[in-house]
Amino acid sequence: MTYQHEYQASIDTPELFWRQQADAIHWFREPSTILAKDEMGIDRWFVDGELNTAYLALDHHVLNGRAEHTALIYDSPVTQQRVRYTYAQLTEQVALFAGVLKDAGVGRGDRVVIYMPMVPEAAIAMLACARLGSVHSVVFGGFAAHELAIRLDDAKPVVVVSASCGIEVDRLIEYKPIVDEAIELAQHKPNTCIVLQRPQCLCDLVDGRDLDWQQAMIAAQPADCVPVRATDPLYILYTSGTTGKPKGVVRDNGGHAVAMNYSMATVYDMHPGDVFWAASDVGWVVGHSYIVYAPLIRGCTTVLYEGKPVRTPDAGAFWRVCADYQVKGIFAAPTAFRAIRKEDPECRLAAQYDLSALKTVFMAGERLDPPTYDWVKTHIQRPIVDHWWQTETGWAIAGNHMGLEPAEPKAGSVTRPSPGYNVQILDVKGMPVARGEQGSIAIRLPLPPGCLPTIWGNHERFMNGYLNTYPGYYVTGDGGMLDADNYLFVLGRTDDIINVAGHRLSTGEMEEVVAGHEAVAECAVVGCASELKGEEPLGLVLLKDGVHICEDELRQQLIERVRDNIGAVASFKQAVVVSRLPKTRSGKILRKVLRNIANGEDYQTPSTIDDPACLQEIEDVLQRQR
């Protein structure tokens, strides 16, 4: 089937289209009502269907002849461990841990907070929750106690699952003191903590509250899968960058399962037995969707990697994993490949590995700048797919659909909307604009299966944040345009548009031009207040390793590049070399904080930042420039 036929069917007859996709997964009770409004007036999919997500991911494969196929590969260069789990072995472990949770009082609808490093037990805990029909909320391992406490108070878990420590390259992070402090700070107190003791750092357990993972597993009896409604919640995931009251994105069971299975085939061209590696963390939406649920529901082998793109041990780490496990598709953020390029500019380390099984490189999570795209394309010689989605949607809003009908890519575009996503570009009044014109990217309702139906415990926030801006549409918060071929160009968050003397300009476009300079490894462009022009752009530039260039000379060259590519209207006159850029632990540059610093405004250090010290360093650099 062609892309256009599939896409049009999903838009013209969504109920028929998604009924067909739902037929591809196993239901305990087949849905007869495919789409209906809930009591809050929100579109819900497969409302009278019953299923169990863990059954789809595990038991279904065991019962259908794939018990001895590899389900999960754990690769940890920081501990020198490599472990394979067959579908039968992973099912057994999940059923046993579900028994542990059940003995701890966890039932259908109860919440479990999971605060774990990248170890197999993190995925086992998630799947065990799904098995019981309970709701997991994974909090990125290493979050500060205060941030964890906020999430405990919002989710109100019966149980917290954690580990004694995480490992960041060669540094141990003790998790248990963070968990203990978070529980002390939180008003809601979980009944039980289950702790995985890692040999690198053992911790003390609190009598009467804490259980040792290994000991609890020995005493446990396996628990069966609990049927749940399609509309019952599977998990809560708090969005990165949250300050104040957290925003818990809710994912349901039915729509999520259908979307995961469909997207693995359509977007990623992954089928039973294929090896897929999402080089992310289970604490982020990519980890939920494409480390744990989608590959297993699809019957693939998934790779869970406890390491970094560099320094574990070198910039060849990604290529080594791809070669060792015959990875067919790798999915990572552009920042990972920029880190590799910075340390291995000629990509010499990739030549040491057999990458013959690798068919496609997928990137998402932030803007894929052309220099990074070109570098990976040149050296790896594989299709590069830039696809765009959000924590809220759970899967790709747009991309190049490798399992459907790959399109010819266009520079700067995330290619075409995924089937089910009726993407529109709206003006400030909520009216669609002409092709080629910029505006706010919105999705006409109904959203496809897999997208959020609410914010946990705060439906009003969901309505105000996503649906009330333009009635009949979900607003993404990003600006962009659709061209004559229906290719989508995402130009950045709507607050990344700056107004220079009345001209609305995308800082993302400027970043592409600046990043194209041969000396630049990475950059961020933010708007600074200007008495004369309202706003003017400031470029913060990170140089490639081993590059030595006069900063004044570089600044002039960058000014000329922006003038030549965008025009004098951009008024790009300021470029500052920095040693590092502030990022979230998932690799996104914290542009809002950079804007605050550049404008001398107060800011709150985000809980998701990977290196808080760099903020002071940038403040100092900009102060000297003034």
Domain segments of the chain as ranges = 3-307+387-480, 501-625
The answer to whether residues 435 and 484 touch, using CB atoms and an 8 Å cutoff, is yes
Q: Which amino acid is at 333?
A: A
How does pLDDT run across 364-416, given as a tens digit for each residue?
A: 987 787 889 999 999 999 999 999 999 999 999 999 999 998 999 998 899 99
Q: Looking at the structure, give the CATH architecture of the domain made up of residues 501-625.
A: 2-Layer Sandwich (3.30)
The answer to whether residues 465 and 458 touch, using CB atoms and an 8 Å cutoff, is no
Global pTM value = 0.85
| Residue 502 in this model has a pLDDT that exceeds 60 | no
* 492 vs 330, higher pLDDT: 330
Over the chain, what is the mean pLDDT? 93
* Distance between CA atoms of residues 314 and 344, nearest Å: 9
| Residue 236 in this model has a pLDDT that exceeds 80 | yes
User: Can you give the pLDDT at residue 239?
Assistant: 82
The answer to whether residues 566 and 510 touch, using CB atoms and an 8 Å cutoff, is yes
* Distance between CA atoms of residues 85 and 123, nearest Å: 12
Highest mean pLDDT among 144-148, 371-375, 442-446, 603-607: 442-446
**b/e map 45-82, b = 16+ CB within 10 Å:** bbbebbbbbbbbbbbbbbeeebbebbbbbbbbbbeeee
Highest mean pLDDT among 238-242, 304-308, 592-596: 304-308
Highest mean pLDDT among 327-331, 333-337, 587-591: 327-331
> How many other C-beta atoms can be found within 10 angstroms of the C-beta atom of residue 304?
23
Q: Do the domains spanning 3-307+387-480 and 501-625 agree at the CATH topology level? A: no
CA nearest to 539, candidates 550, 600, 556: 556
> Can you tell me which residue has the tokens 């086992």?
124
Average pLDDT over every residue of 267-286 = 96
- Expressed in angstroms, the distance from the first to the final Cα of the chain is 59
Average pLDDT over every residue of 613-620 = 87
pLDDT category at 566 given cuts 50, 70, 90 is confident
The answer to whether residues 302 and 158 touch, using CB atoms and an 8 Å cutoff, is no
3-class secondary structure, 594: helix
3-307+387-480 has CATH 3.40.50.10800 classification: no
The answer to whether residues 620 and 614 touch, using CB atoms and an 8 Å cutoff, is no
Does the CA dihedral 62-99-50-262 come out positive or negative? negative
Average pLDDT over every residue of 180-203 = 97
| Residue 243 in this model has a pLDDT that exceeds 70 | no
How does pLDDT run across 139-174, given as a tens digit for each residue?
A: 988 678 888 999 999 999 999 999 999 998 888 999
Average pLDDT over every residue of 65-78 = 98
The answer to whether residues 412 and 372 touch, using CB atoms and an 8 Å cutoff, is no
* Token output for 323: 């070669």
pLDDT category at 500 given cuts 50, 70, 90 is confident
Q: φ, ψ for residue 332 (rounded to 5)?
A: -150, 165
CA nearest to 136, candidates 114, 158, 163, 152: 114
| Residue 351 in this model has a pLDDT that exceeds 90 | yes
> How many other C-beta atoms can be found within 10 angstroms of the C-beta atom of residue 504?
10
